[in-house]
Amino acid sequence: MSDNTLRSEKWRRLERVIKWIGLSINSFALTIGLKRSENLYQIKKGNNGISRDLAELITAKYPSVSKGWLLTGEGEMLIGNKAVTGSGSGIPYYGMDATVAVEQQLPPPLFYINVPIFNDCDLSAMALGTAMQPDIPAGSIVLLKKWDVKAVVPGESYLIISAAFKGFRIIRRSEQADELLLLPRNAEEYDPISIKQSSIEKLFIVRGIIIKKIL
């Protein structure tokens, strides 16, 4: 196989992931933490390959994508193709809006998602809003872990349940005592919100996102 063919194969793998997620190249770059998308365009041109660092960025954000497949082309693109079971191991998945799921006494899960690096999560459900796009696309599955409000990591995405607000936002601390600033990713359509830290009833950190619905 020629070098040109190898380079095009690497881009085809990356392009397949981007199309599966449903974002543009630029939006995809932002969601995985790249400040610029130039590296992705260089891969498209055949000038660069898929580095281990890039593969780790992609699989950290989208844990159902196989790192081995990204780097070598061997195996299947999605770990989730083999990881969904009904055995009771892994992360319980509920086919409902996450904000509803964490507020009620849940029925038995539809199935379990086995993603080893995230199996300490408490549940997984659907994110239906658009305030956190493109980071959390509407209809994606979020992997959630219960979190202490006193241990909030600025810049991470959380599911917040309080009397005044229910939904996904990035949390930052305010200069005012007991006040938190909730920031949308989609700032063109949504405004920041301030709430009292003491008003938060439940808090979950978003540990991972699966874009393609598991049926």
Ranges of beta strands (E only) in the chain are 84-85, 91-97, 111-113, 123-127, 140-146, 157-162, 166-173, 179-183, 193-196, 200-210
Residue 173 CA to residue 180 CA, distance in Å, equals 5
Q: Looking at the whole model, is its pTM more than 0.75?
A: no
The pLDDT assigned to 2 comes to 52
The pLDDT assigned to 191 comes to 95
CB 143, CB 136: distance < 8 Å:
no
Per-residue pLDDT band at 127 (split at 50, 70, 90): very high
Mean pLDDT (whole number) for 69-91: 67
Of 172, 197, 196, the closest CA to residue 183 belongs to 172
Residue 41 CA to residue 112 CA, distance in Å, equals 37
Mean pLDDT across the chain, nearest whole number? Answer: 84
pLDDT in tens, 139-169: 899 999 999 988 888 888 999 999 889 999 9
Mean pLDDT (whole number) for 40-45: 91
Mean pLDDT (whole number) for 91-119: 83
CB 102, CB 144: distance < 8 Å:
yes
CB 202, CB 122: distance < 8 Å:
no
